[in-house]
Structure formats: C-alpha cells, structure tokens
Amino acid sequence: MKNAKIYTYIINNKLEIETVMKEYTNYIYTIIRNSSMQIFDEDIEEIILDVFLTLWKNQDRLDVNKNMSSLIVGITRNLIKKKYRNIKINFNIEDYEEELIDLSNIELQFYEKDKNQIIVEELEKLKQEDKEVFIKYYYDNNNIKEIAKLFSISESKVKSKLFRVRKRLKKILKERGYDS
C-alpha cells in the first residue's frame, strides 16, 4: 500500500476510489492525529472525506507514476492547514494603545493578562463554530439574533453554545486558581 503507484488504482481510466478509501482511511487518520494541531473528531472525519473528494475531483490530473501515499500525505496536510488557517484569534494592538500602565494596579493587570491568555488558549480548543459564536457575542458585540442569522442556526442554539463555552471557561479558570 505505502509504495503503490497511482496507476495501480486506475481501471478503465477511472480512479477506483472505493479501493483507495479502504486502503488509506487509517493512514489519513494517522496523518491527522500526528499533526501538531488538536483536531476534533468531527473535523477528522470531514478532512478524511475531503481527501477522497479531492482525489476524485482531480483524478484526470493525477501523475499516475507517483506514489499514492505521497499524494495522500500532501492533500491531507494541505486540507489541515486550510481548515485551521483562520483559527487564530486576532487582537488589534491599536485597541490597547490608549491604555496607560497604572503602576499601582500592575499586579491586577498581570492577573487579567494571564486570565485572558487562558481564555484565548481554551477558545483555540473549541469547535470552529462555537469559538466564532463566542467571539461574535463577547468581542464583536453582536446580539444573539444577529449571530443566529449569521450562522443559520436558532437563537436557542446560540444561547446554548454560549452557555457551554462560558461553563467550560469558568471551570478551567477555577481549576487554574481564578475564582471569578
């Protein structure tokens, strides 16, 4: 399997995608799990399916003399990068330029900075939609109705997502020694 050329999976000028799926699903799963990113199970399934869809859609352009495993690795890594490219939360430094450092409150500022860092790290671990809903509500000041419309979900689902994220963040902060 690992060194099989692409032409071994082509019969009558068609890629035998079922055979490729049987032989490479576990291989793709391993590639994803060994990536440096924490990837949720739903995203793993989606990436695996996208790899096969990409192969199927581009079967006419495949270099049949290359190894299938090399092609699979390349497609998988590109899809992982594409999926997680825009995950980083971007804070604009200009938003904080006006703030002056008050030396009497320096400890409080470090406390808040540390707490915010924990929140950012935890948000990075969330499903993409949950994270975006949270950011839209708490950082972009969108209301629940706007968010529901933006994500094509019900208002109660938005409220539920916000509740679960707040509950998770509260638990993590409490575990790390923050009471509020």
CATH match of 93-175 with 1.10.10.10: yes
The yes or no reply on domain 6-84 and CATH 2.60.40 is no
Domain with CATH 1.10.1740 in the chain: 6-84
pTM over 0.85: no
Q: Which amino acid is at 40?
A: F
Element (H, E) at 14: strand 14-15
CATH 1.10.10.10 spans which residues of the chain?
93-175
- Reading the chain (180 residues) residue by residue, the pLDDT tens digits are 556 888 888 888 888 889 889 999 998 888 888 876 677 778 889 999 999 999 999 888 888 888 888 888 889 888 888 877 655 545 554 555 455 454 455 566 666 777 888 888 888 898 999 988 988 888 778 899 999 998 899 999 999 999 999 999 899 888 888 775
Per-residue pLDDT, 106: 59
- Candidates 23, 22, 21; CA nearest to 4 is 23
What is the tens place of the pLDDT at every residue in 49-64? 999 999 999 888 888 8
